[in-house]
Amino acid sequence: PFCCTHARTHLVAIARVRKVARVHEYVAIGDAERRLQLVVEPRVLVTGGAGFIGSHVVTHLVRRYPRYYIVNLDSLDYCSCVRNVHTAISSPSAGADASSESINRTNVDGGDDDDEDGDGDLGTRLRGSFCEWDQQQEDEGDVAARLPPNYKFIKGSILSADLVEYVLRTERIDTVLHFAAQSHVDNSFGNSIEFSKTNILGTHVLLEAARIHGRITRFVHVSTDEVYGEGAAETPAMTEDHVLEPTNPYAASKAGAEFLVKAYQRSFRLPTVITRSNNVYGPHQYPEKLIPKFINQIARGRPVTVHGDGSHTRNYLYIADVVAAFDVVLHRGEIGEVYNVGGSNEVSNEQVARDLLAIMKPDAAASAQIAYVSDRPFNDQRYTIDAAKLRALGWRERVAWADGLRRTVQWYARYGHRFANIEHALEAHPIAFKKTYSVPSTY
């Protein structure tokens, strides 16, 4: 009986392999909570792996799947910080860095609470930590010496066709996660050509290199909900088949990149998957983005600069939930499909400022701390997307808005010094924007 049972189990496993291999090289074995075991261990290229979302995904893949080989290709632009990755993956004890929040558990809550000492006066403690940034140092050489064998970092641009083709060939890459992009909407108004170069041409270079390489079994292209365009108050949540109507240069460049991805999937049968996420927040985000900008302005005792009347809303999703979403898409997403990655926290810009002030300056009057400044040339009133398709694969949003904000504030208080000079990022409008649109210097 034991032999029969063993043989039957073996045959079932073989059948699973044959069925799944047509889609990808992953096969589910045993308890679903044990995640996915590989038939052939993947060799994954992550572009933009030193950026905000990419750094978290790289950290998760390296630590959660030690048999995967991860190549991190990043040009180390102004908003990148490879130290966030290397510190988190260099030692099992690096969990003290909130960047290494574990997605291994079904519930991701409570992954980075080691900053709390009974909660006390959090605002006072945080402001004190921010003032000490310049004195905080980490031994980068020691960190580099401890990097795991299943990880490699390569500094380079996706605009270099020779480099991308070389990396795919020599590292024997079979899976691509494409995060690399120019992503700050404000910058796109004054520097739109650079956005088209990186987001459209860079994606094209990567797609063509993947086609020539001929060994890619999965190409995940990371896009944005902004490709859908503006939603009115009564607009129902947009599904993946909604028409694309971008309203700013950044969104237009991402929509253009998507069309290339779809063209390569149809013309050359490149096995692609596209994700469109709403606003993501959490540790590692460069301070030009709304939430870390507000955190840094408050920490420095400056007014919180809110665009327009502050009524524009965005739907926010905490980074740990986004990492979990990419894990699901990587292992369970269907080739040729698009998946919305959306949260349930629709909050106005003004309310974001008030919520952060309540954490960092609980005794101050919020209204006196907010400065309303000139709006963007065009600012979408809201975005709303339906993530039911992703939830059908087993993904769930788990981190509540209040908890995610608290975790984020704590991380910037402890590790925000990793970003170099950020004074320009804390301005109400980027320099390129001001030159183009002549925003008064007081802004």
User: For the chain, what is the radius of gyration of the CA atoms?
Assistant: 22
On whether the CB atoms of residues 322 and 341 are closer than 8 A, the answer is yes
The single-letter code of the amino acid at 376 is R
Alpha carbon distance 10, 285 (integer Å): 46
Tell me if residue 334 is catalytic: no
The residues near 335 (Cβ < 8 Å, ≥ 6 apart) are: 23, 24, 218, 265, 271, 272, 273
From 225, 240, 355, 380, active-site residue = 225
- What tokens appear for 197 in the block? 């170069």
On whether the CB atoms of residues 211 and 268 are closer than 8 A, the answer is yes
Looking at residue 315, what DSSP letter applies? E
Looking at residue 98, what DSSP letter applies? G
- What tokens appear for 2 in the block? 């034991």
From 26, 65, 250, 264, active-site residue = 250
Nearest to 34 by CA among 240, 370, 431, 331: 331
Share in percent of the chain as helix, strand, coil (round to 5): 45, 15, 40
On whether the CB atoms of residues 78 and 203 are closer than 8 A, the answer is no
Alpha carbon distance 159, 204 (integer Å): 9
Tell me if residue 225 is catalytic: yes
3-class secondary structure for 111-142? CCHHHCCCCCCHHHHHHHHHHCHHHCCCCHHH
How many residues are there in the chain? Answer: 443
Question: Diameter of the chain by CA atoms?
Answer: 83
Nearest to 70 by CA among 158, 174, 143: 174
| Pairing of β 69-74 and β 43-47 | parallel
On whether the CB atoms of residues 385 and 227 are closer than 8 A, the answer is no
Q: What angle do CA 26, 30, 33 make, to 5 degrees?
A: 85
Q: What's CA 168's distance to the chain center, in Å?
A: 23
Residue owning tokens 């704590």: 410
Q: What angle do CA 391, 312, 364 make, to 5 degrees?
A: 105
**Per-residue CA distances from 360 to 301, 417, 424 (Å):** 10, 18, 22
- What tokens appear for 260 in the block? 């290339």
| Coil, helix or strand at residue 59 | helix
From 226, 288, 327, 427, active-site residue = 226
Residue owning tokens 């087993």: 394
Tell me if residue 226 is catalytic: yes
Residues tagged active-site: 225-226, 250
